[in-house]
Chain A
Amino acid sequence: MRRVLLALALSELIATAAAPPAGRPAEAVAATTGAIRGRVEFLREVRPADPRPSITDLGMGDPHAGMADQQVAVVYLEMAPRGAFEERPGPTVVLDQRDETFVPHVLAITTGTTVQFRNSDKTYHNVFSLSRPKRFDLGRYPTGHSKSVRFDRPGIVRVFCEIHSHMSAFILVFAHRHFAVTNAHGDYRIDGLPPGNYTVVVWHPVLAAKSRALRVPDEGGDQELDFDLS
């Protein structure tokens, strides 16, 4: 329940980020830009949740199924500079279904992005979401095939497979481009920021989100900002 409330709250947060912020960032001229970079440290290991007990099965399931990488966070600006909302052609990214796991487990995109849901398994999958920003159901489709969904509204979209209840993924849809997904070491970098004051948020599917204020000075340059999540 707590996770649901958190997801709803964050969903609202991402949605409000669509509104251009008042104050300095909005007035900034992008002649000089800075960047925010840092590392997200996970103070406790988040492991994939065990699937619900498969009481009706005649044997064990795939022991490698549902082994999504949980050590991934998304860092983003709570309020983005006005220029960050300009219309750009929507790119296409792939969210794979492999070993009964969505890969990546967390995907961050901008509005207008098309996500191709590829099935790389030898079994059927049925991707669907009932999240408010985007409700869809792609039906069952075979190995090697993809089906695409365009995301036009900001928010958090939880993605599931109707056939394999242990499969889930998060798609964070931002109205601006100032966000980053941490790499395998927890590092992130958000580029192209005009001078100004920002609130930087780190989000994780399970761990509590954190936010910190930071200023990009007039001369630009890289600003270090580390987080720890527990």
Chain B
Amino acid sequence: MAVGLIRVTAALAVGLSSLGMTAGAEDTAPALSRAPRRLRVGIEGLVSVATDDSGYFNYSSYEKSAMELVRLRMDAALRMGPRAALLAEGRMDNGEGPSLSAAYLRVRPFAGHALDIQAGRIPPVFGAFGRRAYGADNPLIGQPFIYQYLTSLRSDALPASADDLVAMKGSGWASSYPVGSDAWDHGLPLVAADRWDTGLQVRWQGERVTVAAALTQGTQSNPRVSDDNSGKQLLGRLEVRPVLGLVLGASAAQGDYIADSAVEDLPLVSRAASRAQQVFGMDVEFARGHWLLRTEGILSRWFVPPVEQPFVPSPLQAWGGFVEVRRKIRPGLYAAARFDHVGFSSLTASPAEGSETPVVTTWEAPVTRVEVGAGFNLRRNVLLKAILQQNWREGSGFGSDTIVSAQTLFWF
């Protein structure tokens, strides 16, 4: 499927690059001509080691954790004229084979207008962290819960009742449900920062305002290369910069997240129900001097088709956010801290054995995290990080853990 994506993007590239080259002749020539170099490559590598994360707090799949990761990334930009470029990212994680995590065409159709179109496997439009999750732009090692923490909800398997959901509470790294796929697999995060979606994106940038919108195959929880249902995701972002150093952002997205394979396993009467994920987000960044403050908040709503009693309330909701601060202490050395929390809406499940009172509880286990750390630039492009992370999970097994982690990061 990735090959198919490359073919489509390459075909678009050939057509649109000729447009870019022709129109580019009208551009005002800069004082110095830009290099005619066409291909630019960037390499980034990181190695993270950590003490045991027994509660699976940092996992973005059953096997992968930001805390124990060996990653080699290669970014490439092929310029095809003054206003068109083909960009791609190849990635190797933990010694696995290479994967194409991004491949898209970037075009600026009109000279002198900061309107850009990107098509292919594109960067995330939603929120702010997803576009700076890499390397040095993340001052700590862990990722915010709202962009990584796995809930027990899945896109290819559904709980038949609230009891099924409660049974999986707090085990999002491996859950199983009676409807759809019967395999154990990891659940969905509120927003997946580790994978990029596929589609078409448009951005306009003014001096103080940026507006972006996209139409994609997957959803915020489950970005995809190929669609697994007939619904597309529509998302948008508004960014305002009222004063220098302050960025205010608002994002919203809606798309169908439940795979057709799971819907086919539903009773006929349940198939017409909504299978959408709706996500709303706010983000703020403020920087001044040696301080940098970032905060984001997200509300995610997943609609779940009713199957049997006690019904899963629809939509299921999760809300969370983080506050992150970084302070440079001296040249090449900084300290950083982040506070994270994700909470969940309640449902009513069957009474416990020996009781007649229905159980009212959250559909997932709320989680809280504090992460503190420091980074030291050995060289401009070699960064060492060390962090201490404390996690808490309410009302389930794997209640808490403390993790110490170190990361070496280089790029050129």
Contact = CB atoms under 8 A, between A and B. Distances in A.
Interface string A13-57: 000000000000000000000000000000000011111111111
Given A52-B42, A57-B123, A137-B330, A124 B116 contact: no
Nearest to B210: A58
Contacts of A64: 30-31
Interface stretch (A108-116, A139-147, A195-203, A205-213): A139-147
Interface in B327-384: 328, 330-332, 377, 379-380
B211 to A, nearest CB: 10
A123 interface: yes
A103 to B, nearest CB: 11
Contact of B42 (A53, A57, A68, A129): A53
Contact of B205 (A54, A59, A141): A59
A193 interface: no
Contact of A60 (B106, B289, B379): B106
Interface string B72-87: 0001110100110101
A160 B331 CA distance: 12
Interface string B131-172: 110100000000000000000000000000000000000000
A137 B331 contact: yes
Contacts of B116: 58-60
B75 A55 contact: yes
A52 B39 CA distance: 10
A47 to B, nearest CB: 4
Contacts of B37: 47, 50
Name B's interface SS: strand
A69 interface: yes
A141 B212 CA distance: 28
A107 interface: no
Given A52-B75, A54-B77, A56-B134, A130 B244 contact: no
Contacts of A150: none
Nearest to A71: B32
Counting chain A CB atoms within 10 Å of each CB, which of B76, B83, B132, B290 scores highest?
B290
A124 B380 contact: no
Interface string A132-159: 0001110111110000000000000010
Interface residues of A, number: 35
B40 A128 contact: no
A96 to B, nearest CB: 15
B390 to A, nearest CB: 29
Contacts of A49: 35
B30 A59 contact: no
B118 interface: yes
Given A50-B40, A54-B77, A139 B328 contact: yes
Given A53-B40, A54-B77, A55-B89, A67 B332 contact: no
A63 interface: yes
Contacts of A63: 27, 30, 34, 82
Contact of A130 (B36, B132, B332): B332
A5 to B, nearest CB: 13
Contact of A52 (B40, B88, B114, B292): B40
A215 interface: no
Nearest to A128: B331
A63 B81 CA distance: 12
Counting chain B CB atoms within 10 Å of each CB, which of A50, A67, A141 scores highest?
A50
A80 B79 CA distance: 47
Contact of A143 (B76, B77, B79, B244): B244
Contacts of B71: none
Contacts of B106: 59-60
Contact of B30 (A56, A67, A139, A143): A67
Given A50-B40, A124-B287, A130-B380, A58 B212 contact: yes
Contacts of A48: 32, 34-35
A69 B30 CA distance: 12
A59 B108 contact: yes
A165 to B, nearest CB: 9
A58 B40 CA distance: 18
Nearest to B36: A47
Which 8 pairs from chain A and chain B are nearest by CB? A59-B116, A53-B77, A47-B35, A52-B42, A139-B289, A53-B75, A135-B331, A139-B290
29 contacts: A47-B34, A47-B36, A48-B35, A50-B77, A51-B40, A55-B87, A55-B102, A56-B123, A57-B131, A58-B131, A58-B201, A58-B203, A58-B210, A59-B108, A59-B203, A60-B83, A60-B114, A63-B27, A63-B34, A63-B82, A64-B30, A122-B244, A128-B332, A130-B331, A130-B332, A130-B379, A137-B290, A139-B291, A140-B288
